[in-house]
Amino acid sequence: MREPIGTVYDQTTTSAFIAMLNTQAGDEKLKFSYMEVHPDDKYSSRQEVVIARIKDIRKENPLLSRDQAGLLSNTELTDLGFNLSKRFTQQWAECVVVGTLNLKTRKLDPNKRAISPNDTLTTPDPETLKILFSGEDFSYIPIGKIDNYMGKTSQNDVWIALKGDEVISKHLSIFGMTGSGKTNTASVILEELMPRFHRTIVFDPHDDYMRIFDYQHLFKKTNGNPECPNLSTCSVVSHIHKSNNSLKREEICHQALRLSSVFLNQDISSFFISGCQQKISTQFLDEIENEVPKIFTTPLVEQLEFFPEVAYYPDMGIDYTISMIEAMIEEDFTDAQRRMLYDYIGDNSLTGLQGVNYLNRLSDRMPTGSADPYRTGATIRAKITQARGTYERGTSIVEAKRIDELAQKICLKNSPNLPCMFVISLSNLSDNIRKLCVFAVVRYIFRKYKNIVPQGGGAISPWTPEIRRPIFFVFEEARSLIPKSHGQFDRTSDKVARSAARELAYEARGFGIGYCVVSQKPSSVDDEVVSQTNTHIIHQLKSEDDRNFVKSVTEGLEREDLALVGSLGPGRAILTGSAIKSPVLVNIRERYSIEGKPEPRHLSNRVNGSCRPYYNIKEKLQKNV
């Protein structure tokens, strides 16, 4: 239901105009809202409609300056007997024209007609917003509902969906200060990628995604119970539950919900508000099991925690192993040391060795005595000893894993279809080993995809498009994994991780690899990596440096938009970039899965909190009363 809210006023162009508003809606409701422009009051009979977005709201009063008018527009001047500011204050909307939408072809074209004075500005019809921002194809990823002023009668129930192909191939960035909802947003996208079976690798420094497969949060919100009885006991779940199934009935419920939500293009919660058995059919589940074998007996997510195995990887060449050792000791080898290592790292006597055995044999191969007049070999041996200590400390906590075996399991089509998401926990690793993990995994996969002949010896067996899967990397807390360069003050692990990520930024798209960077401090992430992301989800950022950085790497955001970014509340975000037709303000839905680590409650926790004695006393006093 469209509702007139203003009239076009003064000079106009095909791309911008000013409207005098007749609505009393506040600035916070109107800013960034989409509107329709109509030359007359025949709103429903038109096949084409001009779409505009309100960029800014200003208030003017002939009795006051512009600043005073804006400040006092909502102030009650009761001492004067009437509200002076409201009586004479007029609202003006600065609008940008987004384009002309053909309601029949559902296509948004550039606007070619100048907006005429006296045209009517109306709230949008919900169907118009659905055409603009909702996708009906399986490849679209719904992430939340639009935050748009709809007038007094309509409600914001339009889902915003990203073009999935744009997200996973042209790269994504998610920014927001602590508590703004950026990790929730990343979880929502991962929850949507899982049932689409896209191979995803998540680098998780703080175990935020360790329970991404567990949908208990959805059940608790719906019926206050961590399980959903009407799902777990219904005939659909009983139909697919096997006696030899490694999944619990609740996990089968989660699986069925994920798959059905994509197939039916509906929010998961709608399936069991009115009863799941009418929404999820056994025929659909049988068909999906035929298409994806073991879908109801195998988890979609695998949790990994490992120390990158130190060895010579022939597919990667000598430089790969040298960079691994450098990251472990946080020190570069000199050119002379590198030349000596080139003679020994790929030596036949080291073939088949790895870990401590490899490092010991490599150290033994270094020249000594008169064969080492400049003590280059002695220096290398000292560095290898340091690397061995790092390796032993790391592998006492987590198991070492060969990168080539891991990459083959994740990337090649002859490996099992499931799981399709691999979450690499970095929480128990030191900072430099976290970056070593990023380097080792990203560099190996990218160069196998690109079929780069390694320097310094080695041979590569190509992973052609016919045998490899498309891959999507997620870098949580990207500022700590791929930090911005600080020149001579960079640590070695910073440089090796950044070099691998930059290879993705420059060339990965052509090889079926995409990535997502998630950070609370975007100005601290490597700008080369961020600048190549084409879709941006921007939560609240109060730092002016961060907002300016975001402005420099995004298109479609103006000064007024950046000011709005500073005041967004938790869960609200601006979407812009190639995966959406036009920048839009969204209320991101809450993740269905359980948060990896609960919010700390050091004072209020009744069991272990610091205020526990007071809770105990209060409970005893209440009992006595």
Cβ 203 vs Cβ 474: under 8 Å: yes
Q: Given this model, what pLDDT does residue 346 score?
A: 87
Helices (H), 121-203: 126-133, 164-170, 182-193
477-512 in b/e form (b: 16+ CB < 10 A) is bbbbbbbbeeeeeebbbbbbbbebbbbbbeebbebb
Q: Given this model, what pLDDT does residue 145 score?
A: 94
Q: Beta partners for 203?
A: 424, 475
Residues 173 and 162: their CA atoms lie apart, in Å, by 13
Instruction: Find where tokens 């005073």 sit.
Output: 68
Cβ 462 vs Cβ 450: under 8 Å: no
Q: How far is CA 282 from CA 256, 288, 522, in A?
A: 10, 10, 46
Q: Given this model, what pLDDT does residue 233 score?
A: 47
| Residue ranges for the chain with pLDDT beneath 70 | 23-28, 41-45, 61-89, 153-154, 219-246, 270-279, 452-461, 598-599, 606, 625
Instruction: Find where tokens 């009983």 sit.
Output: 238
Q: How far is CA 126 from CA 50, 123, 157, in A?
A: 15, 9, 8
Q: Beta partners for 584?
A: 575
3-state secondary structure 257-275: HHHHHHHHCCCHHHHCCCC
Q: Nearest CA to 195 among 135, 254, 258?
A: 258
Q: What is the DSSP letter of 429?
A: S
Q: How far is CA 411 from CA 57, 164, 426, 472, in A?
A: 50, 20, 21, 11
Q: Given this model, what pLDDT does residue 247 score?
A: 77
3-state secondary structure 560-578: HHHHHHCCCCCCEEEEEEC
Q: And the tokens for 104?
A: 């029949």
Q: How far is CA 541 from CA 54, 263, 523, 525, 599, in A?
A: 21, 36, 11, 15, 20
Give per-residue pLDDT as tens, 343-402: 999 888 898 999 999 999 999 999 999 999 999 999 999 999 999 999 999 999 999 999
- How many Cα atoms occupy the beta-carbon half-sphere of 139 within 13 Å? 8
Helix (H) or strand (E) holding 388, with range, is helix 376-395
**If you count DSSP H runs as helices and E runs as strands, how many of each does the chain have, helices first?**
23, 20
Q: And the tokens for 59?
A: 């208030």
Q: Given this model, what pLDDT does residue 229 score?
A: 47
Q: And the tokens for 9?
A: 């006023």
Q: And the tokens for 423?
A: 């979450």
CA angle, residues 452, 457, 460, in degrees to nearest 5:
40
Cβ 85 vs Cβ 72: under 8 Å: yes
Residues 74 and 307: their CA atoms lie apart, in Å, by 60
State phi, psi for 510 to the nearest 5 degrees: -70, -10
Instruction: Find where tokens 């993705």 sit.
Output: 504
CB atoms within 10 A of CB 602: 9
